[in-house]
Amino acid sequence: MVGLPGSGKTTRARALAARTGALRLTPDEWQTRLFDDDMHHPDHDRRHDEIEAIMWEIAAHILQCGGDVILDFGFWTRAERADFAARAAALGATCQIRFDDVPLDELERRVAARNQDEGGHFVIPIEVLRNWARVFEAPDADELEGRFGG
């Protein structure tokens, strides 16, 4: 699942997991369960990285056993997507991208609405979302066709 907060990644991941039986791994769900809304905690990024590392270990095991995994990580950069595609290939698995190109104004609207809901997610200031949007690299046609890093 590729995209910024509010792009519908987790909603699509849930539906895909229900339809296919694939294991869905969503770091934000684990992080909020373990640490509540720690978005502004100094250890937030370290915690998030550790959760993703543990999830990859689980995913690698499932892939080695022939199962399917949905990584709901966001994958904001081409380099990160190429890295995980190579990891999957090394295990004999293939990587597919699921991405909806949602305009920034719609992402802002969705995140602002979600910020009003209680619990179960991070409150993301709109200016932070805008900063993240400047870093995000949308997948190109090659990536969408399953060709990574080339």
Per-residue pLDDT of 37-64, as tens digits, reads: 777 888 988 999 999 999 999 999 999 9
**What's residue 90's pLDDT?**
96
Buried b (16+ CB within 10 A) or exposed e, 126-147: eeebeeeeeebeebeeebeeee
**What's residue 150's pLDDT?**
55
Per-residue pLDDT of 66-116, as tens digits, reads: 999 999 999 999 999 999 999 999 999 999 999 999 999 999 999 999 999
**What's residue 64's pLDDT?**
96
Per-residue pLDDT of 119-148, as tens digits, reads: 667 789 999 999 999 999 999 999 999 998
Q: Which domains does the chain have, with CATH numbers?
A: 9-144 (3.40.50)
Report in angstroms the alpha-carbon separations of 29 from 3, 26, 79, 131.
16, 6, 24, 22
**H helix and E strand count, the chain:** 7, 2
Q: Structure pTM? A: 0.90
Instruction: Return the structure tokens found at 73.
Output: 């990580």
